[in-house]
Structure 1
Amino acid sequence: MKNNLRLLLLAAAPGLLLASAGVARAQTAPATPAELGAPGIGTLPLSLKEAIDYAIKSKSTLQATRLAEQTAKAKVGEIRSAGLPQVNVAANVADNFKLQKSLVNFGALGGGASATTLTPGDIAAAQNGQTVNLGTVTLPTEPVPPQAFAFGLQWAGNTSASVSQLLFDGAYLIGLKAAKVYEELAQKQTQQAEIDVVEQVSKAYYSTLVARERLSLLARNVQRLDTLLYQTSETFKAGFAEKLDVQRLQVQRNNLVVEQQKASRLTELSVALLKFQMGVPQSQTVQLTDSLSNALVDAGTLRRSLGGADFNTGGGANGLGDLPVAPAPITPNSDAQRSQDQQTALSGARTGQLAAAFNYNNRIEFSTLETQQALAGLDLANRRAGAYPRLLATAAYGFSGSGQTAGDLFAFRGPNSRTGNGFSNQNWFGFGNVGLSLQIPVFDGFRRKYLVQQSRIQQQTIEKGFETLRQSIDLQDAQSRTSLINALDVLDNQRANLGLAEEVARVSLIKFQEGVGSNLEVISAETSLRETQTNYYAALYDVLVAKVDRDKATGVLYRKANN
């Protein structure tokens, strides 16, 4: 039992990695894995919430983690079973084809001047396991030496039932305390895996949304360029445009069609990645019901929540600032200001209020490490408990029998059995006992001493891990905050550039149609527009991914997914 408890406690050693959502909704609920394989299931509509719910229920890695959680519960049951009565039933049959012999001094059995009558025939019969009736006679001048005799019969059997009940064991009491903590650890490991799945599905879903939106935009660009190519071709036929203008537009259209085909394949790949992250078969058709407009958040509110809303820095709550102005004169920083700047940098640019509000327990890794610490303490107590005595109550009852042949053994003759001449003929006899078993460890060569030292070192290692984990969480918090703010600023810039590029393309086209602009100017404007569109959607995806990373860093990703 102590070995089992030891295995349980060691399961919480350092190096651990990372609740199903299941919220009802008014729309169509996502199909289950069994339903996907059923006939009649066509396109599977998925919002982000539905995609996350489906992945949490059906992702194979999560199912494996939940099986590990069930294994942990079964292990706890194994530990608890040591405190219940232990009942055993045993039975055995032996063929003593060569009986063990012992020397017996028959000459001393009679005492005084008498002895037992013993002839060579009697000795031979006894050695062969036969019954010999002995009589008392006067001792001969030379007494008979000790003779070898076989006790017992060739066939022997035994059957018994025993029960034991643990009355006191320090390791078992500690095991009961560790049971609940061990289950919590398994549950937190499952929750860590669920958080990872939420992150993966969210990023894959956003990637598919962005790819789908960009593909739609490319289709509109091709349509617009086709219109321009047609108009230019007609103008060329009328003699008001050069053939070179048509050819330039044709080259531009060919490049745009190739880009559209590449974007289409990348969109299919994004959908395949989303299916993989959800655990959906690749053969299943899915339809994303969310849009980018629903996925985006208010940048100003988000910046204020990050503690980085400063209009004068160009990255304020309202986005980019006004046009640059002359910089203010640089004045030397005071010592107090430099110290404040250092603290701000170390805290990831968090204000004092936000830094104080950060709760490390929101991170599952921190909570898991706390559980590890609790189990390490129980491991130490378990090893110390090895010095305590162990008390058990025992009881046994059974029957043993013997016979000259197998048939004689299995005749099962009880105490009322008699031979023809009235002698007892019983061959099976009952036995029973009750008692207490006390085990007191006295000296084990200092083994327990060194085991306790190892547990203490393990506990200290976990305590050091808290500081490392805090620093790691602080760094992730700072990185996610900075990445999100930067991504928002880039998105604002790309959104502004997109508006400018669209306006430039519109004006260039009007000038070309009115005959005051060149075809080359239109092509250059269209190229710049597509490049700006690509940059805008890349910035848009970066914001969505940075938001997911930010939610994970602050420990609210799983909670938001459930909401």
Structure 2
Amino acid sequence: MKKIMLTLVLLAGIRASYAQSALTLQDCLKYALANNQALARTRLEEDMGRFKTSEVRGQALPQVNANGSYTNNIKKQVLPIPGDFVGEPGKTVLLTAGVTHNVVASGSITQEVYNQSVFTGLKAAKAGEEYYRMQTVQSEETVIYNVTSLYYAALVSREKTIVLDANIDKLQQLVNTTATQVENGLARKIDLDRMRVNLTNYKTQRINAQNQFLIQANQLKMQMGMSMGTALELPATSFKEIESKTATAADFGGVTLDNRIEYKLLTKQEELQNYQKKAYIAQYYPSLQLGGNYSYNGISDKFDFLKSKSGGSTASWYDMASVSLTLKVPIFDGFARRSRVSQANVTLKELSKQKEEVALSLNTQFENAKLQAQNNLSTIRAQKENVELANEVYLSTQNNYNLGLASLTDLLDSETSLTEAQNNYNEALLQYKLAELDIIKSNGNLKSLLN
């Protein structure tokens, strides 16, 4: 009980630490692999696979059974026999058969000496256990992929709110300054109203961006298996790490089908189907079974089995034993076995075509992800230059506006262009990371994100 309480306290401490400190991507992934409900269900199925292997293995082990029975012959059978056998010729004598009470204790043991179906089933069960393990790996990769994509999307959404916050602050200062100028007759009220309209629009955009971030954060917590009531804080530095990595991206490698869990699962299914085919073929083979039986019987017309002979027991006890060797030779089953083998061959052909289809799909996904990543890299570079240019235009327009050389329309337009450029840049970073994630998935290296 103390160990259980200590474990609960430690678990609560770990979850509390997650709630109090900012979570890196690796923190989120490790938490998700430990708490995701769908993954936990898949791991239970993996346990089920091990138990199924044990069940099949049991068929190859000795089968031992014990039985006990008690029979009370309330009305005994009567056997008519010629009286000549008992000294009464010419008559039919009725004899009572059996005794009133009968107690039997018996045991049996059987062992498969040769049964090809059982031996093939053992190999198939072991391969099935590996298949369940691979399904767990696939579920883990799905969790890693979903958590990573939501993590980056949440970072970008939060960055959008930061951009809007900065623009709101700048515009609020301009509104305050212009309001003072209007009071002193140095600016027009219509200009102040236009600024306030833009400010309200920015605040509305900020609310929408914040809601989007909260929704993505909730989706992230759901994928992680984290309670909705738990606070989720993301580190402020992670977004800059995204930006720095885009500058060094070059070689995307190549797709290796043997690393893709989807392809490996189909290969394992093919192996399992081959075992199924062998199991059907094994039904043509004879089987040999060794068996043994032993029984100990007690009979009496009185229920005095517990008494000893010296105590007046009338029970008689005797035992029986036998050893058997059973050979079963299949001869004809109406071509049912042949039909099952033919069905297995068709299934193998279907799996072969499915593997070809999946291989083509995986290669296509990889090539598309490379193209998308390369395109996004170009977009990032262009948008970064665009942000710098838009910022220069805004600063220059703001200076000219303060000097009376630019109109309010020019200032507001340059500010809107700067905001759009910043958001486009952030979106380009997100799209690059998602394309990079697809490439990592294509290479079968999603677990590398844990490091």
Tell me if both proteins adopt one fold, taking TM over 0.5 as the criterion. yes
**Which residue is equivalent to 2:258?**
361
Deviations 1:360-416 (A, max 9, x none): 1111111111111111111111111112222222112221223335x33x4365xxx
Deviations 1:279-323 (A, max 9, x none): 111111222235112134544643x424xxxxxxxxxxxxxxxxx
Whole-angstrom CA distance in 1 between matches of 2:346 and 2:12: 52
Report whether the alignment pairs 1:56 with 2:33.
yes
- The equivalent position to 1:501 in structure 2, one of 390, 396, 402, is 390
Deviations 1:240-269 (A, max 9, x none): 211111111111111111222222222222
SS of the equivalent of 1:233 reads helix
Q: Normalized per residue, which structure has more helix? A: 2
Report whether the alignment pairs 1:69 with 2:46.
yes
CA separation of 1:93/1:542 partners in 2, compared to 1, >3 Å: closer, same or farther?
A: same
**Which residue is equivalent to 1:380?**
277
SS of the equivalent of 1:287 reads coil
Contact 2:109 2:292 in 1 (8 A): yes
Contact 2:298 2:317 in 1 (8 A): yes
CA separation of 1:149/1:487 partners in 2, compared to 1, >3 Å: closer, same or farther?
A: farther
**Which residue is equivalent to 1:463?**
352
**Which residue is equivalent to 1:402?**
299
TM-superposed deviation, 1:470: 1.3
Whole-angstrom CA distance in 1 between matches of 2:234 and 2:401: 40
SS of the equivalent of 1:89 reads strand
- Stretch deviating more after TM superposition (196-205 or 524-533): 524-533
Whole-angstrom CA distance in 2 between matches of 1:473 and 1:32: 45
TM-superposed deviation, 1:494: 2.4
Report whether the alignment pairs 1:259 with 2:205.
yes
TM-superposed deviation, 1:166: 1.7
What code does the residue aligned with 1:90 have?
Answer: N
Contact 1:508 1:522 in 2 (8 A): yes
Gap runs ≥5 in structure 1: 1-30, 110-115, 119-138, 307-353
Contact 1:35 1:41 in 2 (8 A): no
Contact 2:255 2:442 in 1 (8 A): no
TM-superposed deviation, 1:418: 6.8
Whole-angstrom CA distance in 2 between matches of 1:33 and 1:484: 42
SS of the equivalent of 1:286 reads coil
Contact 2:60 2:119 in 1 (8 A): no
CA separation of 1:32/1:540 partners in 2, compared to 1, >3 Å: closer, same or farther?
A: farther
CA separation of 1:65/1:38 partners in 2, compared to 1, >3 Å: closer, same or farther?
A: closer
What code does the residue aligned with 1:75 have?
Answer: K
Contact 2:362 2:442 in 1 (8 A): yes
Whole-angstrom CA distance in 1 between matches of 2:207 and 2:42: 40
CA separation of 1:170/1:233 partners in 2, compared to 1, >3 Å: closer, same or farther?
A: same
Q: What pairs up with 1:480-495 in 2 under 5 angstroms? A: 480-495=369-384
Whole-angstrom CA distance in 1 between matches of 2:273 and 2:70: 48
Whole-angstrom CA distance in 2 between matches of 1:222 and 1:216: 10
What code does the residue aligned with 2:306 have?
Answer: A
**Which residue is equivalent to 1:27?**
none
Whole-angstrom CA distance in 1 between matches of 2:311 and 2:199: 116
- The equivalent position to 2:11 in structure 1, one of 30, 34, 47, is 34
Contact 1:101 1:150 in 2 (8 A): yes
Whole-angstrom CA distance in 2 between matches of 1:393 and 1:297: 72
CA separation of 1:75/1:295 partners in 2, compared to 1, >3 Å: closer, same or farther?
A: same
- The equivalent position to 2:239 in structure 1, one of 280, 286, 292, is 292
Give the alignment's TM-score, normalised by structure 1: 0.74
Contact 1:161 1:397 in 2 (8 A): yes
SS of the equivalent of 2:216 reads helix
Identity in percent: 28
Contact 1:33 1:280 in 2 (8 A): no
Whole-angstrom CA distance in 2 between matches of 1:364 and 1:425: 73
**Which residue is equivalent to 2:179?**
233
CA separation of 1:103/1:460 partners in 2, compared to 1, >3 Å: closer, same or farther?
A: farther
Whole-angstrom CA distance in 2 between matches of 1:562 and 1:260: 33
Contact 1:398 1:431 in 2 (8 A): yes
Whole-angstrom CA distance in 2 between matches of 1:87 and 1:517: 99
TM-superposed deviation, 1:44: 4.3
Q: Greater Rg, structure 1 or structure 2? A: 1
Whole-angstrom CA distance in 2 between matches of 1:64 and 1:458: 28
What code does the residue aligned with 1:478 have?
Answer: E
Contact 2:260 2:444 in 1 (8 A): yes
Give the alignment's TM-score, normalised by structure 2: 0.91
Aligned positions, number: 443
Gap runs ≥5 in structure 2: 1-7
TM-superposed deviation, 1:419: 9.1
Deviations 1:54-106 (A, max 9, x none): 11111111111000001001100111111212111111122333333433234
Whole-angstrom CA distance in 2 between matches of 1:197 and 1:162: 51
TM-superposed deviation, 1:513: 0.3
Whole-angstrom CA distance in 1 between matches of 2:189 and 2:420: 26
